[in-house]
Amino acid sequence: MGSIAGALLDLKRLDQLAAGDSAVHRLDARAKVLATLVFIVSVISFGRYELSGLIPFFIFPAVLIAIGQLPAGYLAAKIILVCPFAVAVGIFNPFFDRGVLVHLGPLGISGGWISCVSIVVRTVLTVGAALILAAVTGFPAICRALERLGMPNVFVMQLLFLYRYLFVLTEEGGRASRARELRSFGRRGLNLSSYASLLGHLLLRTWQRAERIHMSMLARGYDGVMPVGHTSRFGVAEMLFLLIWSSLCILLRLNNGAQFIGTLVTGILS
């Protein structure tokens, strides 16, 4: 029960963060979506052996976290949850790609290890950028921005309903789990059959709840388009935000920023 309630509160945490009033929160969602898209495309377009060029891209999430006054620890915890999947994807690379690419003194590092670390770093950057976008914009605002950018309305509605029904699912799951604990005194009834029955009842209850919600929406005049209470404007600030971050991402992609900084520092010290 505690884990389900915690998951529900965790989902609502991003919505609470999106209600902030920082400079980046006030920007039009389209500018933030497009800037994040350019950032993600730039990151994933790197080759599997290009690792040093990814390091300067941490500037984007770091600056947005600072300006948006976001809890870095909370976002880091969410990113860490995804890292094992990235490790699972790249962990076998060292066994198949054994050619040594880098020498650190007597230690030779194979291309497999470099590509594995590159996968993890790119996962951290892209997932972190997506979480930050949700934390400074809000998922409904992101969906409205995608619609205004040309995404078909049917896909936007699917995304919105998927997001909203996550809360329905977790609420019904919490009630079902609480009922099971009360009937089993918190300990008995934890076998596989009880969980199968719990999942079946959860599916039926969420289906019925969704039907009642849909009927309520129709009664209130729902016609397939979500009403928008406030429409933001794409102004000068949004244009500057998009231009600056897009230019920086493209520049860092075309030129190895870490190598440039290293050369500059070496030249100054020498």
pLDDT digits (tens, 9 = 90+) for 207-221: 777 788 778 878 877
- Distances 95 to 106, 111, 113, 140 between C-alpha atoms, Å: 20, 10, 9, 44
pLDDT of residue 4: 47
- Distances 165 to 113, 158, 267 between C-alpha atoms, Å: 40, 10, 57
Q: Are 216 and 8 in contact (CB under 8 A)?
A: no
Q: What's CA 122's distance to the chain center, in Å?
A: 13
Q: Of 40-44, 105-109, 143-147, which gets the smallest average pLDDT?
A: 105-109
pLDDT of residue 210: 76
Q: Of 3-12, 89-98, 118-127, 198-207, which gets the smallest average pLDDT?
A: 3-12
Q: Are 116 and 5 in contact (CB under 8 A)?
A: no
For 193-216, what is the mean pLDDT?
75
Residue with tokens 């500037």: 59
Most confident of 21-25, 138-142, 149-153, 244-248: 244-248
The H or E element that residue 104 is part of is: strand 100-104
Reported confidence tier of residue 124, pLDDT bands at 50, 70, 90: very high
Bridge partners, residue 110, by sequence:
100
d(CA 70, CA 148): 26
Q: What's CA 72's distance to the chain center, in Å?
A: 14
pLDDT of residue 199: 74
Q: Are 54 and 118 in contact (CB under 8 A)?
A: yes
Mean predicted lDDT score pLDDT of the chain: 80
Q: Of 55-64, 121-130, 224-233, which gets the smallest average pLDDT?
A: 224-233
The H or E element that residue 217 is part of is: helix 192-219
Comparison of pLDDT for 134 and 166, the residue scoring more: 134
d(CA 227, CA 131): 25
Burial of 162-181, coded b for 16+ CB within 10 Å and e otherwise, reads ebeeeebbbbbbbebbeebe
d(CA 234, CA 217): 30
Tokens representing 70?
Answer: 């976001």
Amino acid of residue 59: I
Q: Looking at the predicted structure, is the pLDDT value of residue 37 above 90?
A: yes
| Model confidence pLDDT, tens digit, residues 150-166 | 888 888 888 887 887 77
The C-alpha R_g of the chain, in whole angstroms, comes to 23
pLDDT of residue 2: 45
Residue of 116, 109, 63, 51 lying closest to 245 (CA atoms): 63
Q: Looking at the predicted structure, is the pLDDT value of residue 26 above 50?
A: yes
